[in-house]
Amino acid sequence: MDVLSGWWDDYFWGAVVVGQVFICSLGLMIIFGLFGAMAKLSNNRVAQKIAGAYTVIFRGTPEILVILLLYFGSAITLTAIAQIFSPEIKFVDVPPFWAGTIAISIIVGSYATETFRGAFLGVNPGSIEAARALGMSDLQTFIYVRIPEMWRLALPPFGNHMLSLIKDTALISIIGLNETMFVAKQAITVTGKPFTMYIVVGAIYLGFSTIITLAVMGIEKFGERTTVGAK
Amino acid sequence: MSTSDAQPLIQMQGVNKFFGSFQALKNINLEVRKGERIVVCGPSGSGKSTMIRCINRLEDHNDGHIIIDGKELTDQVKDINAVRREVGMVFQSFNLFPHMTIVKNLMLAQQLVRKIPKAEARETAMHYLKRVKIPEQAEKYPIALSGGQQQRVAIARALCMKPEIMLFDEPTSALDPEMINEVLEVMVDLAKEGMTMICVTHEMGFARSVADRIIFMDEGEIVEEAAPAQFFDNPKSERTKKFLSQILSH
């Protein structure tokens, strides 16, 4: 274990970055998924088409490719825009944290779109009718009836999306984000011990995914309080 | 029929409704005055449910006019929610919100639609739960209640909105036989208090004792409209006779 001494700090801060990326991308992923699902379920043909293209493209291309394209694509685009205003600018640097976070949110959001769509379709139409009959507006019905019933149905597959998300954070090292994979690569060039260094990364990710799994189990239990027992 | 000068609470004039090319309602004309109790019956697929669902616009009609308490139902969303506030609806399958306790089920629309403060909404909820005789279930979730109890909660939930009119869409059809009476009792109480009611039901005992008028529908049309005594003992139309012989024969 001597070989690891001196690297614990870096691993720790790498893990903190993983956690930060996860939290930010989780929020964004839910937003992308909800908008995607609502667009697919709307009566608007254009919205349906856009959401359809979204899920086809991002579920059908390798994740690492999306990260690279989004990182370099946004850098090139921002550079071009910046040069319109001040031609002396050579290159706009996009922060890898945000490029990577947004990329994996978009990718996993495309899977969540289908999950949420299915869950919305699973909401008892009778509940929605009852809300309408009571005079509730569409927005009130959405917030107080459809969403609370929907998330309970979405939770089991949504747990899988959260695991995908945490694992996808490892890919962001490729655009230079100093998370745990990035730390491991650096440590390997110095120490020449790839197995040891990667095993540490594995342990860190297992820790994260265990926490997520336990959290999902807890939330499921909370959601089920309305459907079991009591009688 | 009576020729009171008072404006009818519900007016349906020449209402047609299509589902695709299928005509579910054919030239429906109906007037219901305040305090009247109407029972609608007829074979399945005859348009009974569709007709009462048009009254609070859960279905929109294709032609004709539906006027509720002087307000015509059109595409204007604002008016619809104002009308729905006046019209309570009870469904065959109860349709309680499964993720909320009973008392929250009763409070939600009061708070959101009628903007009633929480404490007052709870008080009203408990008042109506007592009226349907299940205040002790207030903190349970719907799944823990029997069908008859859930339907009574659904009636209480509609009453919390202080509606002018109550619509019942086969409220006892999904219930086990021993639970039908507890729901009918609540409906009879409501009728005694003068609530304007339209009930789609096959409970002919209820119809006979409570209804002012019985409407028989078949294939999207109102075939017969009569007071219970006349309806049961001396129906005019052959279709009504046939229907009555089928449901009363056993």
The span from the CA of B14 to the CA of B226, in Å, is 19
CB contact under 8 A, A133 and B56: yes
Per the CB < 8 Å rule, is A130 touching B144? Answer: no
pTM for this predicted structure: 0.86
How far is the C-alpha of B10 from the C-alpha of B166, rounded, in Å? 11
Instruction: Mark yes or no for CB contact B143/A226 under 8 Å.
Output: yes
Assembly ipTM: 0.90
Cα–Cα nearest to A129, from B23, B89, B148? B89
Residue A86's pLDDT is 86
* Chain B residues with CB-CB distance to A228 below 8 A: 143
Chain A: residue nearest B90 by CA? A130
Chain B nearest-CA residue for A144: B108
B 140-169 residues inside an 8 A Cβ radius of A: 140-141, 143-144, 154, 157-158, 161
Check CB contact under 8 Å for B98 and A230: no
**Nearest residue in B to A125, CA atom:** B95
**Which of A135, A145, A230 is opposite residue B81, by nearest beta carbon?**
A135
CA nearest neighbour of A175 among A105, A102, A104, A96? A96
Distance CA B249, CA B170 (A): 21
pLDDT number for residue A225: 81
Q: Which domain holds residue A144?
A: 2-230
A212 near B CB under 8 A: no
pLDDT (0 to 100) of residue B1: 43
Give CA separation, A43 vs A38, A110, A122, B179, B229, in Å: 10, 20, 18, 41, 49
d(CA A185, CA A192): 10
User: What's the CA gap between A217 and A58, in Å, rounded?
Assistant: 28
Q: Which residues pair with B90 in a beta bridge?
A: B168
Domain encompassing residue B72: 10-91+164-248
Q: Give the domain CATH number at B194.
A: 3.40.50.300
Structurally, how many domains does chain B consist of? 1
Please tell me what DSSP assigns to residue B56.
T
C-alpha dihedral sign at B107, B113, B118, B124: negative
Tell me if B17 is assigned to some domain: yes
For residue B34, give how far its alpha carbon lies from the nearest alpha carbon of chain A (Å).
20
Q: How far apart are CA B24 and CA A197, in angstroms?
A: 71
State chain A's mean pLDDT as an integer. Answer: 93
Percentage with pLDDT > 70 across chain A: 98
Residue B76 has pLDDT above 80, yes or no: no
Query: Is the Cβ–Cβ distance between B88 and B36 less than 8 Å?
Result: no
The per-residue DSSP string of B171-223 comes to TTTTS-HHHHHHHHHHHHHHHHTT-EEEEE---HHHHHHH-SEEEEEETTEEE
Q: Which of residues 72-111 of B touch A (CB under 8 A)?
A: 77, 81-82, 84-85, 87-89, 91, 93-100, 108-109
- Contact yes or no for A105/A34 (Cβ under 8 A): no
Q: Which of B58, B87, B144 comes nearest A231 by C-beta?
A: B144
Mean pLDDT of B219-236: 94
A7 C-beta neighbours (distance < 10 Å), count: 19
User: Taking Cα atoms as reference points, which of B12, B7, B28 lies closest to residue B70?
Assistant: B7
Residues B91-140 pLDDT 10s: 999 999 999 999 999 999 999 999 999 999 999 999 999 999 999 999 99
**Domain tally, chain A:** 1
In this complex, the residue of A133, A144, A226 whose CB is nearest that of residue B141 is: A226
Helices A147-168 and A96-122, axial angle in degrees (round to 10): 150
Which of B95, B96, B173 to mutate to probe the A interface, most A CBs <10 Å? B95
Tell the residue number behind the tokens 């789609």, with chain if given. Answer: B200
Q: Which residue of B has its CA nearest to A223?
A: B99
**Per-residue pLDDT tens over the stretch B139-177:** 999 999 999 999 999 999 999 999 999 999 999 999 999
Q: How far is A148 from chain B (nearest CA, A)?
A: 7
pLDDT band at A230 (very low <50, low <70, confident <90, very high): very low
CA distance B110 to B119: 11
CATH code for position A182 = 1.10.3720.10
Compute the 3-state secondary structure of chain A and give helix, strand, coil in percent, each to the nearest 5.
85, 0, 15
Please check whether residue B119 lies inside any domain of the structure: no
Is residue B195 assigned to a domain? yes
Across A38-59, average pLDDT: 96
Contact B140 A140 (CB under 8 A): no
Q: Which of B58, B88, B108 sits opposite A132 (nearest CB)?
A: B58
The strand pair at B63-68 and B71-72 is best described as antiparallel
- Per cent of chain B over pLDDT 70 is 96
Question: Is there a contact between B97 and A130 if contact means CB atoms under 8 Å apart?
Answer: yes
Question: Among all residues of chain A, which has the CA nearest to that of B143?
Answer: A227
- The answer to whether the CB of B48 falls within 8 A of the CB of B199 is no
Closest CA to A130 of B147, B137, B154: B154
Candidates A161, A147, A152, A154; CA nearest to A212 is A161
Q: How far apart are CA B246 and CA B250, in angstroms?
A: 8
Q: Write out pLDDT tens, residues A78-122.
A: 999 998 888 888 888 899 999 999 999 999 999 999 999 999 999
In a mutational test of the B interface, the residue from A129, A134, A139 whose CB has the highest number of chain B CBs within 10 Å is A134
A197-220: b (≥16 Cβ within 10 Å) or e: bbebbeebbeebeeebeeebeeee
Smallest CA–CA distance, residue B61 to chain A, in Å, is: 16
Q: To which residue do tokens 């639970």 refer?
A: B179
Could you tell me the two tokens for A192? 């020449």
